Amino acid sequence: MDFGPSSPPPGAASTKIVVAGGFGVGKTTLVGAVSEIVPLRTEALVTNESSGVDDLAATPMKSTTTVAMDFGRITLGDDLVLYLFGTPGQRRFWFMWDDLVRGAIGAVVIVDTERLDEAFAAIDYFEAKGLPFIVAVNEFDGARRFPVEEVREALALPADTPVMTIDARDRGSAKAALIRVTEYALERITGMRTSVPQY
């Protein structure tokens, strides 16, 4: 059951999830689709000034870009609240990522199969940080569909890294990705605790 936009249920635990990926892959869309509060967006118009700085060839219809972060909130069940932080996609704003991921338990890396190369930076970043992440393939209208195992192979992901398909516009689909990354992060945390020798 999802609670309304006012406040989380009393006594609910809260945690932080990061939504990352390249420019125009659907980060802002996903946060907006699932947030039970009006999402905070820090978007600016894409202008001619970014020509030669940002590669806009693959997203010619995109008129705005996130310059700091997206922020939203979703309540899962009656005992867990997820605070969502969407990262900016352009390389020139990556210096903010360290602050955005601080305290997060996991991340969703959204990818576009037409631009898989743009996912490597986010994947490398979370691997280096040791932060659990899943890969969510955003199935854009008209885009070619690939089996998730082919996407895993193309991205050179370990067998235990979850890969799933989503529609970032659809609340249920986006919510499923958030549930999966939360489960995966808890599995990783539990596994780390049980692997520590007991004295």
pLDDT on residue 132: 97
Contact 78, 88 (CB under 8 A): no
**Angstrom distance (rounded) from CA 191 to CA 156:** 23
Q: Which CATH architecture has domain 13-195?
A: 3-Layer(aba) Sandwich (3.40)
Q: How many residues does the chain have?
A: 199
Output the average pLDDT for the chain: 82
**For the chain, what are the domain ranges?**
13-195
Q: Is the separation of the CB atoms in 25 and 112 below 8 Å?
A: yes
Q: Find out whether 20 and 107 touch, Cβ atoms under 8 Å.
A: yes
Evaluate if pTM is beyond 0.85.
no
- 119-164, pLDDT tens digit by residue? 999 999 999 999 999 999 999 888 889 999 999 999 999 999 999 9
Residues 25 and 47: their CA atoms lie apart, in Å, by 19
Mind listing the pLDDT tens digit for each residue in 48-93?
A: 544 454 455 555 454 455 545 789 999 988 889 999 999 886 665 6
- Nearest C-alpha neighbor of 39 from the set 71, 69, 15, 7: 71
Taking the chain, what is the end-to-end CA distance rounded to the nearest angstrom?
A: 42
